[in-house]
Amino acid sequence: MRKTTERRRRTATRGRGVLLAAGAVCVVIFVVAAVLALVLPGPAEEPGSDLPGLAESHGIKLGVAVAVDPLRDDSDYQDIVTDHYTSVTAENTMKWEHVQPERHEFDWSGPDTMVDFAEDHGLDMRGHTLLWHNQQPEWLAQGFYDSDELREVMREHMEALVGRYQGRIDSWDVINEPFEDGGPELRDNLWYQTLGEDYIAEGLRMAHEVDPDAKLYINEFGIEGGGDKADALYELASGLLEEGVPLHGIGFQGHFVHGDVPEDLAENMRRFADLGLDVEISELDVRIAEPVTDEAISAQAEEYRRAVEACLDVSRCVGVSVWGVTDAHSWIPEWFPGYDSALPFDEDYQGKPALGGMVEALRRDRRSPGRPAPGR
């Protein structure tokens, strides 16, 4: 009996010892975990995930051109768009060849997908594009219309497309690339050949009649750093405004080559803004000649930073949009063989230093006169 009691006592004592040891281990683990939590950085913040908030704090849009198919079935693609941008532009699906492939026959599947996506995710939407020389369906490109017939074709298309999304698309590139590639002459396109220079004023007036609230743009490339073509556009825009034509903004496309991003981008945009126009960088990309080196990728980040800063430096610059979601979706490799890596996300959907360049620009507190301070 005494032996049994003694055994119980020893067992109880051993049990208390084990409990105490376990408790001590727990305390040590807790203390170590707490110290590590203080010392080590938290879960890595996804690079650029604060871009939408930063852009909004400066009162600008940060946009991206999107394609329909991945918007339907590629959730990683969708996440990049919704996590990093506040606006989308239809890269191709609102162009004539897609919207009206046959005369009087409209296909809304792509545009509807895009506008619904933008609305579902609270993104602004830029409409692209109405009067251009490219991506026209055959019936239009090869049709021989007299001026009244062509006006009718324009009106039908705008009423259908601009009218369908009235109030859901904030701005339209009504006139796209009206000057010859090297400028400064007006481009000899279908609209010009049939209606003369007036097609520009007529197109803008027509779009305004269909959606009086939409901001109407001329969108052009090769004008970002000034020069003859930019001067010719300036003359054109001034003349249109003097005549009371509803022109509200100029899109500076911004298809740049690495190493050649103009220094005077802000200065050049500002003179258009001084006419009373909104301006924006509408199709930004910076292509790099192959082989693409780490050095070039780092330097490209500075170029993206400068482009976004140029917008912040102009009080009427309303946004910057990049032309494609990842390098896997960019138009560059196909159109400029020997160049690649033009966008802020790489082919594996990973953010590049260029993304950090945009963040850096937007984190600054500097501002141009007339632009509200960040956060207001």
Number of H helices, E strands in the chain: 15, 10
**Burial class of residue 323 in the structure, from the number of CB atoms within 10 Å of its CB (0-12 exposed, 13-18 middle, 19+ buried):** buried
CB of 369 to ligand 9MR, least distance (A): 31
Of residues 96 and 272, the one with the C-beta less far from ligand 9MR: 96
Cα 341 to chain centroid distance, Å, stands at 16
CB of 188 to ligand 9MR, least distance (A): 17
CB of 364 to ligand 9MR, least distance (A): 29
Of residues 220 and 278, the one with the C-beta less far from ligand 9MR: 220
Active site annotation includes 283? yes
Strands 249-252 and 87-90: unpaired
Closest residue to ligand 9MR: CB criterion: 331
Catalytic residue among 91, 224, 283, 309: 283
Distance (Å, whole) CA 337 – CA 292: 13
User: Which residues make Cβ contacts (< 8 Å) with residue 102, sequence separation at least 6?
Assistant: 137, 139
Of residues 313 and 346, the one with the C-beta less far from ligand 9MR: 346
Q: Are 261 and 307 in contact (CB under 8 A)?
A: yes
N-terminal to C-terminal alpha carbon distance within the chain: 83
Catalytic residue among 177, 224, 303, 309: 177
Active site annotation includes 347? no
Of residues 129 and 268, the one with the C-beta less far from ligand 9MR: 129
CB of 306 to ligand 9MR, least distance (A): 21
Residues that bind ligand 9MR (CB under 6 A): 91-92, 134-135, 176, 253, 283, 331
Nearest to 118 by CA among 49, 60, 170: 170
Q: Which of the residues are catalytic?
A: 177, 283
